[in-house]
Amino acid sequence: MKFNLDYNSASFFVDLLALTLLIIPLLWVFRKPLARHILYIFSGIYLLSFIAPRLAVFYLFYWLIVSALQRAVYITEHKAVSQPDNLSAAVVSRLVFWCAIILTLIPMLYWKIDEWSLVTFINLHANDTLALLNKTIWEIDLTRNIYAPIGLSFATFRALDLIIKTYLGLIGKLSVDRLLFYGFFPPVLVVGPIIEYEEISDKNDHPGVPAPDDLLNGGFRTAWGFFKVLFLTSLLQPSTMILSHYQGQDVLTIWIYLFVYTWFFYINFSGYSDIAIGLARLHGYKLKENFNNPFFARNVVEFWSGWHISLYRFARRNIFVPLGGYRKEKHIFAIACTMVAIALWHSLSPSMVVYGFYHAAGVIANRHFSEWRTKKGIKLDHPLAQALCIFVTYLFVGFAFPLITLPLGTAMSFYAALLGIT
């Protein structure tokens, strides 16, 4: 095996596009829910195996464990609800729920705390498992690079969302094939978005086939995503050099490169979301949007309503609301916890802690400013006022981008150069 944690997501989507063109005609043949689920499960396993068979082994074990946890949560909660006077049933239900949450989180947290340890564990043990299952696949796997658990952060939050909704009674007990279908749904395997089970469950009982508008809109959206990822990002790629070569540059140059870099980051990330949403549409599934013009937001709250929407929606529903975010006396604490959690989902690092608190401060300030404007009757409806709000919001958001990529110490050095502090 060769050690190389990097993986080009674009190549995954090229493979997925080719596979999609083969799968679409089969949708007219595989009409039964079980057959359709098996088709997609094996498609997802094939795509992961094409990267490295050991990744498919890891995710198969992961989603089978999630399936067992989901069933345990459903059974214990169903018993607690059906026996409201049984205190022990309620205690067991809550205990099982929190155990399921912790067990689901452990792989992702382990990876983010000690990356190499988990990477080595997954690659070596999954490869050993392949040696027991099939010698040919094992030998193929030996030729593949050592990879990080690609897509684990997205898979973890999808699994958490499923378990939480099961505990709340919003989702029933899922058969193994339905849960694996959700886990291995090909368009979202690598770079999200963090889909909810409901987004693909409506076709479980009556799968159907893609309508003409699905094929048309899906094809256009996929092509647009590839255009962004393969062409537009290649034009903006040079802007990334400023993060490592800022010393000796004048302040204006650093600012210009930083602004270009924010667009590179956005176009690249949103491009992959476009491809995922487009390919899902080709299969007849309408996924929720993951971006909505975030750089034209008029305030920080509006920015987060349009940036990585699936992550923001998950955090708002499962962190902000349970912490009492809509109560005035708790909103500051809830906002801080929510934004820091969003930041740490990307990386457990000091720079992302700062990033989370930075955006939390922006959200809190915006909330109080909005309340003050309402009391004073101040409106910002004039086009110039709207443009100023967009500019200030973009400046605020863009200023924090180095924290996403750089270690905290390096980021502070970058900011010193950005502000002309010698």
Question: Is residue 160 within 8 Å of residue 318, measured between CB atoms?
Answer: yes
Mean pLDDT over 398-421 rounds to: 93
pLDDT (tens digit per residue) in 326-364: 888 888 999 999 999 999 998 889 999 999 999 999 999
Beta-carbon count within 10 A of 325 CB: 17
pLDDT at 49: 82
Query: pLDDT band for position 1 (50/70/90)?
Result: very low
DSSP 232: I
Confidence of residue 4 (pLDDT cuts 50, 70, 90): very low
More confident residue, 51 or 184: 184
Burial of 33 (0-12, 13-18, 19+ CB in 10 A): middle
Helix (H) / strand (E) element for 42: namely helix 33-51
> Which two three-digit tokens encode residue 183?
């886990």
Q: Which amino acid is at 2?
A: K
pLDDT at 381 over 50: yes
Q: What is the pLDDT of residue 8?
A: 62
Using CA atoms, how far apart are residues 223 and 13, in angstroms rounded to an integer? Answer: 11
Summarize pLDDT for 285-310 with one digit per residue, the tens: 999 999 999 999 999 999 999 999 99
User: Above 70 in pLDDT, residue 204?
Assistant: no
Angle between helices 350-376 and 408-418 (to 10 degrees): 50
Q: Mean pLDDT throughout 83-87? A: 81
Angle at 292 between CA 291 and CA 297, to 5 degrees: 120
Residues 6+ apart with CB under 8 A from 187: 16, 275, 276, 277, 279, 280, 283, 285, 287
Q: Is the pLDDT of residue 277 over 90?
A: yes
* Bond prior to 193 in cis (omega within 30° of 0): yes
Q: What's the alpha-carbon Rg for the chain, to the nearest Å?
A: 23
Give the pLDDT band of residue 113 (cuts 50, 70, 90): confident
pTM (2 d.p.) = 0.90
Lowest mean pLDDT of 72-76, 207-211, 315-319, name the range: 207-211
Which range among 110-119, 348-357, 374-383 has the greatest average pLDDT? 348-357
pLDDT at position 407 is: 93
The answer to whether residue 52 scores a pLDDT higher than 60 is: yes
Phi, psi for 2 (deg, rounded to 5): -105, 140
pLDDT at 143 over 70: no
What is Dmax (Cα atoms) for the chain?
A: 74
What's the rounded mean pLDDT across residues 125-132?
A: 68
pLDDT at 351: 95
pLDDT digits (tens, 9 = 90+) for 249-276: 899 999 999 999 999 999 999 999 999 9
pLDDT in tens, 6-29: 456 777 888 888 898 999 899 888
For the chain, percent of residues with pLDDT exceeding 70: 90
| Per-residue confidence (pLDDT) for residue 104, from 0 to 100 | 95
pLDDT digits (tens, 9 = 90+) for 30-51: 888 888 899 999 999 988 888 7
Owner of token pair 């699905």:
214
Please give the pLDDT value at position 2.
41
Which of the pair, 30 or 320, is modelled with greater confidence?
A: 320
Phi, psi of 3 (to 5 degrees): -90, 115
Nearest to 200 by CA among 212, 213, 188, 217: 188
Give the pLDDT band (50/70/90) at residue 142.
low
Report how far residue 160's alpha carbon sits from residue 311's, in angstroms, rounded to the nearest whole number: 12
* More confident position, 55 or 345: 345
141-150, 188-197, 199-208, 288-297 — which one is most confidently predicted on average? 288-297
Q: At residue 95, does pLDDT exceed 50?
A: yes
- The percentage of residues in the chain with a pLDDT greater than 90, rounded to a whole number, is 59
pLDDT for position 205: 57
